[in-house]
Structure 1
Amino acid sequence: MMLRLSVAVLLLLPFALWCAYAQSPLVGITLVKNTTAKELGAYCLDGSLPAYQFSKGFGSGASNWLLHIEGGGWCNDVKSCLERATTRIGSSSYMTENVFSGILSNNQSLNPDFYNWNRVMLRYCDGASFAGNSMYQNGNSSLYFRGQKIWQAIISDLLPQGLAHAEKALLSGCSAGGLAVFLHCDNFSRFLPGSATVKCISDAGFFLRRVNVAKSEMIRTLYHDVVSLQGVEQNLNQNCTSSQIDPKQCFFPQYFLSYIKTPIFILNTAYDTWQFYNVLVPSSADPGGVWNSCKKNLTTCTDSQIQTLQDFRLDMLNATNSFYKSSTSGGMFINSCFAHCQTQHQETWFAANSPRMQNKTIAEAVGDWYFERNETKLIDCPYPCGSTCQY
Structure 2
Amino acid sequence: MEMILFVQITILQLALCSTVPTISNRADLNNTIIKTELTNVTTENRTQNEAKALKKVYLSNRTITCNDGSQSGFYLRRSHLSKKWIVFLEGGWYCYDHPSCQNRWVKQRHYMTSSQWPETRDVGGILSPNQEENPFWWNANHVFIPYCTSDSWSGTRIERNEGGMFNFMGSLIVQQVIRDLIPLGLENSTDVLLAGSSAGGTGVMLNLDLIQEILHDKMGLKHIAVRGVSDSGWFLDRIPFSTGGKLNMSAIEKGMDIWRGNIPDACKIEHPNEPWKCYFGYKLYPTLKAPLFLFQWLFDEAQMDADNVGAPVTKQQWDYIHKMGNAIRKSFKNVSAVFAPSCISHSVLTKRDWLQVKIDGVSIAEALHCWETIPIRKYNHNNNMKRSRNHHHKEPKIVPRQVKRIDNEETRKIRRRKHRGNRKPKIKKNRKNCGIKLKCHQLKHQQQSNFSPFDHNRSERSAHHNQKQHQRRPSHCHHRRLEKCSWPQCNRSCPKLHNPYTGEEMDFIELLKSFGLDMESVAHALGIDMQTLISMDHTELLNLLTQQAS
TM-score of the alignment, normalized to the shorter chain, above 0.5: yes
Unaligned runs of 5+ in 2: 1-44, 216-220, 375-469, 471-476, 497-550
Q: Which residue identity lines up with residue 209 of structure 1 in the other structure?
A: D
Does the 8 Å CA contact 1:45/1:81 hold for their aligned counterparts?
A: no
- C-alpha separation between the residues in 2 aligned to 1:23 and 1:142? 38
Q: Give 3-state SS (helix, strand or coil) of 2:270's partner.
A: coil
- Structure 2 vs 1, CA of residues 119 and 211 (structure 1 numbering), >3 Å: closer, same or farther? same
* 2:328 aligned partner: 316
- C-alpha separation between the residues in 2 aligned to 1:360 and 1:137? 47
- C-alpha separation between the residues in 1 aligned to 2:128 and 2:49? 11
Does the 8 Å CA contact 1:205/1:268 hold for their aligned counterparts?
A: yes
* 2:350 aligned partner: 344
Please say if 1:259 is aligned against 2:259: no
- C-alpha separation between the residues in 2 aligned to 1:305 and 1:147? 35
- Structure 2 vs 1, CA of residues 74 and 138 (structure 1 numbering), >3 Å: closer, same or farther? closer
Q: Give 3-state SS (helix, strand or coil) of 2:348's partner.
A: coil
Q: Give 3-state SS (helix, strand or coil) of 2:333's partner.
A: helix
> Deviation of residue 252 (structure 1)?
1.5
- C-alpha separation between the residues in 1 aligned to 2:332 and 2:168? 30
- C-alpha separation between the residues in 1 aligned to 2:147 and 2:181? 16
- Structure 2 vs 1, CA of residues 336 and 85 (structure 1 numbering), >3 Å: closer, same or farther? same
- C-alpha separation between the residues in 2 aligned to 1:172 and 1:341? 12
* 2:495 aligned partner: 390
- CA shift digits 1:36-74 (9 cap, x unpaired): 233xxx111111111111011132x1x210001001110
Among candidates 352, 356, 359, match of residue 358 of structure 2: 356
> Deviation of residue 221 (structure 1)?
1.3
Higher strand share: 1
Please say if 1:375 is aligned against 2:397: no
Does the 8 Å CA contact 1:27/1:98 hold for their aligned counterparts?
A: yes
Q: Give 3-state SS (helix, strand or coil) of 1:308's partner.
A: helix
> Deviation of residue 76 (structure 1)?
0.9
Does the 8 Å CA contact 1:85/1:91 hold for their aligned counterparts?
A: no
Q: Give 3-state SS (helix, strand or coil) of 1:378's partner.
A: strand
- C-alpha separation between the residues in 1 aligned to 2:76 and 2:94? 24
* 2:397 aligned partner: none
* 1:50 aligned partner: 72
> Deviation of residue 23 (structure 1)?
5.8
- C-alpha separation between the residues in 2 aligned to 1:309 and 1:128? 27
- C-alpha separation between the residues in 1 aligned to 2:147 and 2:357? 27
- Structure 2 vs 1, CA of residues 138 and 251 (structure 1 numbering), >3 Å: closer, same or farther? closer
Q: Which residue identity lines up with residue 345 of structure 1 in the other structure?
A: K
- C-alpha separation between the residues in 2 aligned to 1:138 and 1:247? 22
* 2:184 aligned partner: 161
Please say if 1:64 is aligned against 2:76: no
- C-alpha separation between the residues in 2 aligned to 1:266 and 1:137? 33
- C-alpha separation between the residues in 1 aligned to 2:214 and 2:267? 22
Does the 8 Å CA contact 2:53/2:77 hold for their aligned counterparts?
A: no
Please say if 1:186 is aligned against 2:209: yes
Does the 8 Å CA contact 2:87/2:144 hold for their aligned counterparts?
A: yes
Query: What is the alpha-carbon root mean square deviation over aligned residues?
Result: 2.2
Q: Give 3-state SS (helix, strand or coil) of 1:173's partner.
A: strand
Q: Which residue identity lines up with residue 73 of structure 1 in the other structure?
A: W
Higher helix share: 2
* 1:32 aligned partner: 59
- C-alpha separation between the residues in 1 aligned to 2:99 and 2:179? 31
1:24-173 to 2 correspondences below 5 Å: 25-33=52-60, 36-38=61-63, 42-59=64-81, 61=82, 63-84=83-104, 87-96=109-118, 97-134=120-157, 135-136=159-160, 141-173=164-196
Does the 8 Å CA contact 2:89/2:147 hold for their aligned counterparts?
A: yes
Among candidates 228, 232, 240, match of residue 257 of structure 2: 228
- C-alpha separation between the residues in 2 aligned to 1:247 and 1:176? 18
Q: Give 3-state SS (helix, strand or coil) of 2:208's partner.
A: helix
Identity score, percent: 25
> Deviation of residue 249 (structure 1)?
1.8
- Structure 2 vs 1, CA of residues 335 and 365 (structure 1 numbering), >3 Å: closer, same or farther? same
> Deviation of residue 84 (structure 1)?
4.1
- C-alpha separation between the residues in 1 aligned to 2:55 and 2:192? 22
- C-alpha separation between the residues in 1 aligned to 2:141 and 2:102? 34
Higher relative contact order (CA 8 A, sep 6+): 1
1:259-338 to 2 correspondences below 5 Å: 259-276=287-304, 278-282=305-309, 292=311, 294=312, 300-302=313-315, 304-323=316-335, 327=336, 331-338=337-344
Does the 8 Å CA contact 1:173/1:201 hold for their aligned counterparts?
A: yes
- CA shift digits 1:147-205 (9 cap, x unpaired): 22212221121111111221111110000000000001111222333222221100000
TM-score by length of 2: 0.58
- C-alpha separation between the residues in 2 aligned to 1:153 and 1:311? 41
TM-score by length of 1: 0.80
- C-alpha separation between the residues in 2 aligned to 1:252 and 1:266? 13
- C-alpha separation between the residues in 1 aligned to 2:334 and 2:202? 19
- CA shift digits 1:54-113 (9 cap, x unpaired): 011132x1x210001001110111243345457221111122232121000011111111
Q: Give 3-state SS (helix, strand or coil) of 2:296's partner.
A: strand
- C-alpha separation between the residues in 1 aligned to 2:308 and 2:127? 32
> Deviation of residue 311 (structure 1)?
0.8
* 1:211 aligned partner: 239
- C-alpha separation between the residues in 2 aligned to 1:31 and 1:147? 15
Please say if 1:241 is aligned against 2:346: no
Q: Give 3-state SS (helix, strand or coil) of 2:192's partner.
A: strand
> Deviation of residue 266 (structure 1)?
0.6
Does the 8 Å CA contact 1:209/1:217 hold for their aligned counterparts?
A: no
Larger Rg: 2
Q: Which residue identity lines up with residue 491 of structure 2 in the other structure?
A: G
Does the 8 Å CA contact 2:67/2:113 hold for their aligned counterparts?
A: yes
- C-alpha separation between the residues in 2 aligned to 1:217 and 1:315? 20
